[in-house]
Structure 1
Amino acid sequence: MIQIYHNNRCTKSRQALQELEKSGQAFEVIYYLETPPAKAQLEELIKKLNIKPFELIRKGEKIYTENYKGKTLGDAEWIDAMVENPILIERPIIVSENKAIIARPTERIKEILR
């Protein structure tokens, strides 16, 4: 089943949710700010995204600019930062069985819906 890591306050996330609804495919909405992923889940998600943890960080967030900007952290430390502060996780993330994408731009959803 397809999953979307969703933040309803985010325009891009709302657009991605609408695209999934239009697709007619079954999907699960994960409100990751309310139920943040555990460290193991986040590690698996990053693996499916095929990116480095730092690439999943939202660099415009206040918590990033105040606490992390300019710091050189290892992959495990960036993952810990996202576990502690899920607002740092880029969104929306769409996940299928073995693949995940950051749906920015929204058209990237087609990569999952094929």
Structure 2
Amino acid sequence: MTDIVVLHNPRCSTSRAAVEAVEASGLASEIRNYLKEPLSRDEWLAVLAKLDAPATELVRRDPNFQRSGLTDDDVATVEQVATVLADQPLLAQRPVLIRGGRAIIGRPKSVVPGFLS
């Protein structure tokens, strides 16, 4: 049985730190590289239903966001965020940790230990 799922980007140091913390915790985990194994729109909706933050915070506002031609109005609702992330997983904040009925964005790194305990 899996205790925790980590949506992980191995190129991100914050995401790598979260995976290390999960492994050190001894919890049974599933580490999912969401770039190689993208989540469907329905899977993103399930994550967003558990997220301890507004859905729009799960979308990175980086140069990829700008290049995509998106604006904040395009990611204002849960449904919009799920659609955008299913189409463009690179725009997802990382890492995302899912445990039971809760999910968090693992930024800053300091939020991860409290979520694991």
Give TM-score, length-normalised by structure 1.
Answer: 0.89
- What amino acid sits opposite 1:55 in the alignment? E
Deviation, structure 1 residue 107: 2.0
Match of 2:108 in 1: 105
**Unpaired runs of at least 5, structure 1:** none
Q: What is the rounded CA distance, in whole Å, between the counterparts of 2:13 and 2:91 in structure 1?
A: 16
Match of 1:88 in 2: 91
Q: What is the rounded CA distance, in whole Å, between the counterparts of 1:80 and 1:89 in structure 2?
A: 11
Q: What is the rounded CA distance, in whole Å, between the counterparts of 1:95 and 1:6 in structure 2?
A: 11
Task: Report 1:1-114 matches (<5 A).
Answer: 1-60=3-62, 62-66=63-67, 67-69=69-71, 71-73=72-74, 74-75=76-77, 76-114=79-117
Q: What is the rounded CA distance, in whole Å, between the counterparts of 1:50 and 1:42 in structure 2?
A: 14
Q: Deviations over 1:86-113 (max 9, x none)?
A: 0011000111011111111112122322
Contact 1:95-1:112 at 8 Å conserved across structures: no
SS at match of 1:8: coil
Percent identity of the aligned residues?
28
Q: Work out the number of aligned pairs and report it.
A: 112
Q: What is the rounded CA distance, in whole Å, between the counterparts of 1:86 and 1:113 in structure 2?
A: 25
Structure 1 window deviating more from structure 2 (89-98 vs 44-53): it is 44-53
Deviation, structure 1 residue 22: 1.2
Contact 1:53-1:78 at 8 Å conserved across structures: yes
- What amino acid sits opposite 1:39 in the alignment? R
SS at match of 1:72: helix
